[in-house]
Structure 1
Amino acid sequence: MRTWPLQDAKSRFSELVDRTLSEGPQLVTRRGADAVVVLAAPEYRRLAGQDSLLSTLLHAPRGEPLDVERPTDPIRPIEL
């Protein structure tokens, strides 16, 4: 992970974005201390658990029986 001082990150933001997309996360420091990490949007979504519905369904647990319990009460009468 490359480290960018805040001033460099601001003045070369386009390069920061390009490197994030091609090389992965980039660390930005402020006054010599770690401040933020810049991530590509798909990586952020993956880490935050915000994958698409399709991805969620494809990675859902399989083979486990559903525990569906229905009430045994008779159906209430209705007037027609």
Structure 2
Amino acid sequence: MQSWQMQTAKARFSELVKHAAQEGPQDITLHGQSIAVVVSRELFDRLSGNEQTLVEFMRASPLAGQDEIEFERNPGLPREIAF
């Protein structure tokens, strides 16, 4: 994994993103300590389980195509807010 100092990462951001897409994760450091990792969208989606779009997810729902969906509401008072 290539490492980039924060200042360099900011100055060469488009290059950083290209490296993430072509070569894999890129480490960002600040004062010698790793603080972030830039990854490609493809890798992020694979790791986070977001391989479906929201539209695909909604179309796969068992409720898809139902015109009248009724949700039960709790008739009780809303919860107390503590300040």
Short-chain TM bin: 0.5 to 0.7
1:42: Cα distance to partner?
Answer: 1.2
Structure 2: how far apart are the matches of 1:49 and 1:14?
Answer: 26
Flag structure 1 segments of 5+ consecutive residues without an equivalent: 54-80
Which residue identity is paired with 1:43?
L
| 1:31 and 2:31 are equivalent in the alignment | yes
Structure 1: how far apart are the matches of 2:22 and 2:42?
Answer: 13
Structure showing greater Rg: 1
Work out the number of aligned pairs and report it. 53
Q: TM-score, normalised by structure 2?
A: 0.61
1:24: Cα distance to partner?
Answer: 0.6
Flag structure 2 segments of 5+ consecutive residues without an equivalent: 54-83
Q: TM-score, normalised by structure 1?
A: 0.63
Structure 2: how far apart are the matches of 1:18 and 1:27?
Answer: 13
Aligned residue in 2 for 1:78: none
Aligned residue in 2 for 1:52: 52
Percent identity between matched residues is 42
Aligned residue in 1 for 2:57: none
Could you list the structure 1 runs, at least 4 aligned residues long, displaced by more than 4 angstroms after superposition: none
Which residue identity is paired with 2:7?
Q
Query: Secondary structure at the residue paired with 1:50?
Result: coil
